[in-house]
Structure 1
Amino acid sequence: MKLMGSLTSPFVRKVRIVMAEKKLDYQFLLEDVWASDAILKINPLGKVPCLVMEGQDTIAGAVFDSRVIVEYVDTLSPVGKLIPERGRERTEVRTWEALADGVLDAGVLVRLEQTWPERTQAQRSQAWVDRQLGKVMAGLTAMNHGLGEKVWCSGNHFSLADIAVGCALGWLDFRFPDIDWRSENPHLARHFEKLSTRQSFVDTVPRLA
């Protein structure tokens, strides 16, 4: 399998961590969607991550959107099941993932509003930035409350919920180092410190190519 993505995308990182935890082999292909349209041959949405099945190089052989990819990848190996198969436990893990991804979605919108070169300073909206940052902070508060003193986000073991949360927090540190999310969210701070020692997290720390 081939995974197309970047070293900075938290959604790509989520997939890479899942692949590592599942001990699956794949080829990682760096793809800058802002500098090239090559991804459009595989994913018509022009986004990463995109997983290309072995022996395939067309849209028909591609899986895209991180949530779809990780769900598929989790079925490929019995090692370290990350998503419960059914019931309330499955819903809880996927809800954690949706919350973490939602924090990222809002954060990405803030970054684009502040840095996209096609917009002049006069065209940038501070009201829009504040609205999206409000979503980020509300999401972090909810995650901190939901985690509490628990060892893991959901259930009694490491799961996709922890991966998604860790990727969101790591990206915030990478792109918004001035946001002091730790002081108001001590449970998340503790959890992120623990997650950051796992080899799958160490190997995928976001960085510029």
Structure 2
Amino acid sequence: MKLIGSLTSPYVCKVRIVLAEKKLDYQLVTEDVWSPATTITASNPLGKVPCLIMEGGESVFDSRVIVEYLDTLSPVGKLMTGGGRERAEIKTWEALADGIMDAAILARLEATWSGRTDSQRSQAWIDRQMGKIDHSLLALSQGLGDKPYCAGIHMSLADIAVGCALGYLDFRFPQIPWRNHANLHKLFDKLMQRQSFIDCMPRA
């Protein structure tokens, strides 16, 4: 398999961690989707990463779709156990974590994208996205409580998604004091002891 992605994308980070935890072999091909020379639309018409190219040449895109597919490829490190309500709980955690990443990326683009002048930027839009992040961090902390992991006693896709969201905030928004949520701090420190997280977290 081939994974097309960026080393700074939190969604690509999520997929790479899942690949590592599942012990699946793949080739990483880095791609800058903002470059005029990008060829990403040949694989993903949405022009986004990550994009997984399977052995037969078929493309799978959107990180949520990719990680769910990858979890079926190997019994090693099952990341989505159970079904019905248990599965929905894990996917809801993932959706909330992805929502933090969505808001963070939108805020960053509004503040830094070279396609806009300073007068065209909207602080109100940035503030709206930052508000989403604050509310979501509180929801993560309340949902985690004193549990060792987001969805029970074992690490799951929920924890990987949350770890990627927190890591991205560290990377792009170090001023956000999410470590004031002591339980999120504890969870993140535990995740960062895993080699998959050490290898895949975005860094400056």
TM-score scaled by structure 2? 0.97
The residue type equivalent to 1:163 in the other structure is I
Q: Distance in 2 between matches of 1:108 and 1:2?
A: 25
Match of 2:95 in 1: 98
- Is 2:115 the partner of 1:118? yes
Out of 76, 79, 82, the position equivalent to 1:79 is 76
Q: Distance in 2 between matches of 1:78 and 1:28?
A: 22
The residue type equivalent to 1:41 in the other structure is A
Q: Distance in 2 between matches of 1:37 and 1:205?
A: 23
Gaps of 5+ in 2: none
Match of 1:198 in 2: 194
The residue type equivalent to 1:181 in the other structure is W
* C-alpha deviation, 1:90, in angstroms: 0.4
Match of 1:154 in 2: 151
The residue type equivalent to 1:4 in the other structure is I
Contact 2:191–2:197, Cα closer than 8 Å, also in 1: yes
Q: Distance in 2 between matches of 1:153 and 1:37?
A: 37
Q: Distance in 1 between matches of 2:193 and 2:13?
A: 15
* C-alpha deviation, 1:200, in angstroms: 0.3
Q: Distance in 1 between matches of 2:51 and 2:3?
A: 6
- Is 2:135 the partner of 1:134? no
Contact 1:10–1:171, Cα closer than 8 Å, also in 2: yes
Match of 2:43 in 1: 42
Q: Describe the superposition over 1:26-72 as per-residue Cα deviations: whole angstroms up to 9, x where unpaired.
A: 0000011011331110100000000001141xxxx100000000000
The residue type equivalent to 1:97 in the other structure is E
Which is worse superposed, 174-183 or 13-22? 174-183
Contact 2:31–2:38, Cα closer than 8 Å, also in 1: no
Deviating runs (4+, > 3 A) in structure 1?
none
Contact 1:23–1:79, Cα closer than 8 Å, also in 2: yes
Contact 1:3–1:28, Cα closer than 8 Å, also in 2: yes
Root mean square deviation of aligned Cα: 0.9
Identical-pair percentage = 66
Contact 2:167–2:202, Cα closer than 8 Å, also in 1: yes
- Is 2:45 the partner of 1:52? no
- Is 2:171 the partner of 1:170? no
Q: Distance in 2 between matches of 1:106 and 1:207?
A: 19
Out of 59, 62, 71, the position equivalent to 1:62 is 59
* C-alpha deviation, 1:186, in angstroms: 1.1
TM-score scaled by structure 1? 0.95
- Is 2:9 the partner of 1:13? no
* C-alpha deviation, 1:84, in angstroms: 2.2
Matched residue of 1:119: which SS?
A: coil
Q: Distance in 2 between matches of 1:87 and 1:41?
A: 36
Q: Distance in 1 between matches of 2:54 and 2:84?
A: 29
Q: Describe the superposition over 1:96-131 as per-residue Cα deviations: whole angstroms up to 9, x where unpaired.
A: 000000011111110000000111111111111111
Contact 2:103–2:129, Cα closer than 8 Å, also in 1: yes
The residue type equivalent to 1:203 in the other structure is D
Gaps of 5+ in 1: none
